[in-house]
Amino acid sequence: MEVDDSGPPQSLGQAWQPEPQPQQYLDPNRKLLDLVFIQDCTGSQGSYIASATKNIEEIYSAIHQSERLVSQDDLRIGLIAFRDHPPQDHTYVTRNFGFSSDPKQVQEHLKSLYAAGGGDGPEAVTAALGEALEMDWRPTASKMVVLIADAPPHGIGEYGDGFSDGSPDGRDPLQIVRQMAQRGITLYATDFYQAITGITSGLMLPLTTANLLAHAIIGSVLENLDMERLIREVGQAVAQRILGGQESVDDVARELHEKLLLRNESTKKLVVENIYRESEEAKHNVQVWQNSPDLATARPQLKKVRGPRFTDKYLMAAGSRRSGYSPYGPALPSRPRASLGSAAEAVAAARPAASSLATPPSSPPTAATSPTSRKPLTDFAAFGSPTKGGVFGTAVQGNTNPGLFGRPSPFAGIRDRSAPAGLFDEDDEDNSAESGNQRIELRQGSISFDQAKRIALQSAWRGMS
C-alpha cells in the first residue's frame, strides 16, 4: 500500500504507544486540539476539496478565536487523502501529510490534491482510518477526525464491491474505530458511518453541498470541545459507574444530564437538517454494525433498504430521484465519475444512534425517550452534587466558554457579522428554509440528553483503555 511514498504504515496489531511530546504539551490544563481531515480524492469530490482549500485558514482562525487558544501550536491540523486499492485505482491508496500548526502549509497540501479515479463504489476508507489511528496524537489534546467522503469502505455489502470480503490490507473499520474510541479520538462522518461515529460518540451530519463544509467543520469542532471539557471533568467517575458498577449507559447519562442542568450547564450544539428518510431496515443495520466485532460478523445480519433513501425536499434540491448506493445499508448519493461538482455528498459530524459498547452494558432501546423512568436526584446520595454544583462528586468546572465570537448562534438564521471575513460569506440562500436548501445552525443552550449520553459513552470507552 502506498502511503505518501514513505513506506507502509504501522501495523494495527502492534502495541500502541504515544509519541514522546514536548513538556508544554503534557500540561493537562492547557487547551489543545489535534484535528485530522480524511479527504476522499476520487472523482466526485472536487467541490469538497476546493471548499476545504478555500476555507482552511478561516476554519483555523475561527477555532482559535472562539476557544481562545494561547499559541499557534495549540491547534494542529492533519490531512490524509485516499482513493482506492489496485486494480480499482493505480494512483495511490492513502497519502498522509501529518500534522501541522501552519494553516498555510495545510492549504498547500490541499492544493496538491485533485479529484480523479475511483473504481467501484466503495473506496479505501478503512486504510485511511488506519492511518489516522496511528498519527502522533498529543496525549492531552482533544482528538477529532473529520471524514469527508461520499462512499463506504469495502466489505459492507454494496453491490459491485471489488473487495467484497473487506479491505485488501486486512484491516476492519469496526475494529479501528473501537481503538479510536479507547484512545479518545472522536470521528465525524456519514451514512454507514452513523454506526462507527456512534461507537466513538461522534455525530453524523450529511451535507447536500460543499458550501456548507466550513460551517459543519467549525460547528462540530466547537461542540466537541465542549463535550471534551465535560469528559475531562466527570469522565473517570462516569466510567467507574458504567464499567465497575454495571449500570447502563442511559441510566448514568440521565443522571448526569439532570445534574448538569441543575448547574445551568450550557453547551454548543451543531444542528444540520436531515436529508434521509427514516427506515426500520437502516436502523437495524446501524445497530448490527455497532454491535458486531467486525464486518464479517455483521454482513449476514444486514437487511435490504428499499425505496428512496432521501426526503422529497432533498430530491427536489438535488434535481434527482436516484435512491443511492447500497441495497444493504443507508444509501449514499450516486457518484458521477466524470463530474467534479456533485452536490449530493456528505461530510462528517455527529449523532450517536445507539449506546452499545463492546463491554459496557447497553441501554434499553427506549430509554432515551422515557422521561417518566428518570430517578429523582435524591435517590443518588452517593453521587449528590455539592452546594457549588459539582457533578458525580467532582470539582466544579465553571462554564465560561462563550458562543462563537461571543454570539449564541453564528450560523443560518442568526449569522455572525463579526466572524473572520470570507467564512460566512456564502449566499444567504444557501442556508435558507425558504430556498428549499439545507439548514445548518450552531446553537448555544442547555446541554441535551443526547450530549450527556455521548459524554457517558466516550468516558466508558476511554475507561477501557
Least confident span in 80-84, 208-212, 357-361, 401-405:
401-405
b (16+ CB within 10 A) / e for 127-155: bbbbbbbbbebbebbbbbbbbbbbbbbbb
* Beta-sheet strands, E only, within 114-250: 142-149, 185-188
What letter would DSSP give residue 188? E
Confidence label for 96 from pLDDT (cuts 50, 70 and 90): very high
Phi, psi values for residue 258, rounded to 5°: -65, -40
The one-letter amino acid at 281: E
pLDDT for res 317: 65
Q: What is the pLDDT of residue 26?
A: 58
Per-residue model confidence as pLDDT tens digits over 12-32: 334 434 445 555 555 667 899
Interval 29-38 mean pLDDT: 92
Q: State residue 387 phi and psi, 5-degree precision.
A: -60, -30
The pLDDT of residue 188 is 84
Q: How confident is the model at residue 44 (pLDDT cuts 50, 70, 90)?
A: confident
Q: Give percent of the chain above pLDDT 90.
A: 45
224-228, 302-306, 334-338, 393-397: segment of lowest average pLDDT: 334-338
Quote the pLDDT of residue 308.
Answer: 75
Greatest mean pLDDT range, 362-366, 387-391, 430-434: 387-391
Residue 423 pLDDT class (50, 70, 90 cuts):
very low
CB neighbours of 257 closer than 8 A, spacing ≥ 6? 447, 448, 449, 452
pLDDT at 234: 95
pLDDT for 414: 28
Per-residue pLDDT at 119: 58
Contact assessment for residue 1 and residue 10, using Cβ atoms and an 8 Å cutoff = no
Q: Which pLDDT tens digit goes with each residue over 100-140?
A: 999 999 999 999 999 987 655 899 999 999 999 999 999 99
Residue 192, pLDDT score: 67
Closest CA to 96 of 127, 122, 51: 127
Q: Average pLDDT in the 410-415 region?
A: 31
Of 163-167, 194-198, 247-251, 318-322, least confident by mean pLDDT is 318-322
CA angle in degrees (0–180, nearest 5) for 90-91-94: 110
| 401 has pLDDT over 90 | no
- 3-state DSSP call for residue 97? strand
- d(CA 85, CA 108) in angstroms, rounded, equals 25
pLDDT band with cut points at 50, 70 and 90 for residue 431? very low
User: 342 pLDDT band (50/70/90 cuts)?
Assistant: very low
What pLDDT was estimated at residue 34?
Answer: 97
Q: Residues with Cβ < 8 Å from 23, sequence gap 6 or more?
A: none
Average of per-residue pLDDT across 200-217: 81
Going through 101-253 in order, the beta strands assigned E by DSSP cover 142-149, 185-188
**Predicted pLDDT at 18:** 43
**Whole-model pTM above 0.85?**
no
Is residue 39 predicted with pLDDT exceeding 90?
yes
Label residue 391 by pLDDT band (50, 70, 90).
Answer: low
pLDDT computed for residue 319 by the predictor = 61
Of 21-35, 52-66, 80-94, 109-123, the one with minimum mean pLDDT is 21-35
Residues 6+ apart with CB under 8 A from 285: 195, 302, 303, 305, 328, 329, 330
Report the pLDDT value the prediction gives residue 232, as an integer from 0 to 100.
94
CB atoms within 10 A of CB 283: 17
Give the residue with greater pLDDT, 314 vs 340: 314
pLDDT digits over 439-465, tens only? Answer: 889 999 999 999 999 999 999 999 987
Give the per-residue pLDDT at 386.
40
Confidence of residue 225 (pLDDT cuts 50, 70, 90): very high
pLDDT higher than 70, residue 282: yes
* Predicted local distance difference test score (pLDDT) of residue 399: 43
Contact 214, 58 (CB under 8 A): yes
Q: What is the mean pLDDT of residues 281-298?
A: 90
Structure confidence at residue 5 (pLDDT) = 41
- Higher-confidence residue: 406 or 166? 166
| Overall average pLDDT of the 135-155 stretch | 92
% of the chain at pLDDT higher than 70: 67
